[in-house]
Structure 1
Amino acid sequence: MDGPLPGPVARVQQALHALGAADTVTVFDSIVPTAAAAAAALGCDVAAIANSLVFDLEGVPLLILASGAAKVDLPKVSAELGAGRVRRASPGFVLEHTGQEVGGVAPVGHPKKIRTLLDQSLAAHPVLWAGAGDHNSMFSISYVELQRITEATVLAVR
């Protein structure tokens, strides 16, 4: 991509720098809004895609970093958290709390820190790929580094 990065991607890149993580942001010529599309573009296993999924926990955002090959078990997550009802957030709720659109949400670069859970199944992959703030961008990171920069609680989410 020529020229400056879009605002959300630039904020993710700035967050990676501020957190002491490597800047591995990759911008694609075409959109990669799903784990399957991202895996195809990257030539990796869909299970190595760390989807950033925003949920609504009684009006408070909850970010779950889940394998692209996993479906989050919301009743299980709710029980593990000892919390109220966890439900998928609306696109407006996601944008409000992350500054990023559904399909391009990154684990970092949000206006305020969001409580984050990290799917333990992602640890099986030496390199993970996560959204970098829009539908055309991803960044690579290790599981340990992803947990460090997000301060996520590790949990089996499926």
Structure 2
Amino acid sequence: MTDFPESTQRVAAALQAAGHPHMPRMLDDAARTAQQAADVLGILVGQVAKSIIFRRKSDDAAVLVITSGDRRVDEQKVEAHVGKVGRADAAFVKERTGFSIGGVSPIAHATPPVTLIDQDLLRFDVVWAAAGHPHGVFPLHPSDLQRLTGAPVVDVAQEVGA
């Protein structure tokens, strides 16, 4: 675990504290996008649990949306749950999460975000999430995301084909 970058060590510690059976794995190649991660892991792109950060306009809170790598987030659906949101730039993401874009984990954030999990992730038995670094990932069952984050499972993806 000490061979991990500091951001991945935070994720590994959070997984260990929660009793999660799988520790992060460092990949030889970066997996900054869902497609890159799927290619490196040999999985469907939908099995990548991507973490998208928005900035809530009312209080400047970070809003984390965890969705399948083959889906796009529908901002209007997100706003129905958390209020008006806007795009979060790289500096905001790094400051609030402690992670750089391309490695944002669903857990172990510097400041706990408002979190939503998209229901489309439940299509899979196993998904892979970023572990705090573009080369770091870890496997989990979609229901583990609920247990680890305490977040609700909701519909926040665009309609397929939309």
Q: For this structure pair, what is the TM-score category when the shorter chain's length is used for normalisation?
A: over 0.9
Q: Which runs of 5+ in 1 are unaligned?
A: none
Change in 2 beyond 3 A, CA 1:123/1:60: same
Change in 2 beyond 3 A, CA 1:105/1:82: closer
CA distance in 2, matches of 1:50, 1:20: 20
Amino acid at match of 2:54: F
Secondary structure in 1 matching 2:144: helix
Q: CA deviation at 1:129?
A: 0.3
Amino acid at match of 1:66: T
1:9-158 mapped onto 2 (5 Å cutoff): 9-58=8-57, 59-79=60-80, 81=81, 83=83, 85-158=84-157
* Structure 1 segments of 4+ aligned residues over 4 angstroms from their partners: none
Contact 2:49 2:66 in 1 (8 A): yes
TM-score for the superposition, normalised by structure 1: 0.94
Contact 2:29 2:40 in 1 (8 A): no
Match of 2:160 in 1: none
Q: CA deviation at 1:76?
A: 1.8
Change in 2 beyond 3 A, CA 1:4/1:123: same
Contact 2:47 2:127 in 1 (8 A): yes
Residue-by-residue CA offset, 1:39-65 (whole Å, 9 max, x unaligned)? 000111000100011110111100000
Residue-by-residue CA offset, 1:105-157 (whole Å, 9 max, x unaligned)? 00111123211100100001000000000110100000111111011111111
Change in 2 beyond 3 A, CA 1:82/1:11: closer
Q: Which runs of 5+ in 2 are unaligned?
A: 158-162
Match of 1:6 in 2: 5
Amino acid at match of 1:73: D
Two-structure CA RMSD over aligned residues (Å) = 1.4
Amino acid at match of 2:63: L
Change in 2 beyond 3 A, CA 1:40/1:87: same
Amino acid at match of 1:126: D
Identity %: 37
Amino acid at match of 2:66: L
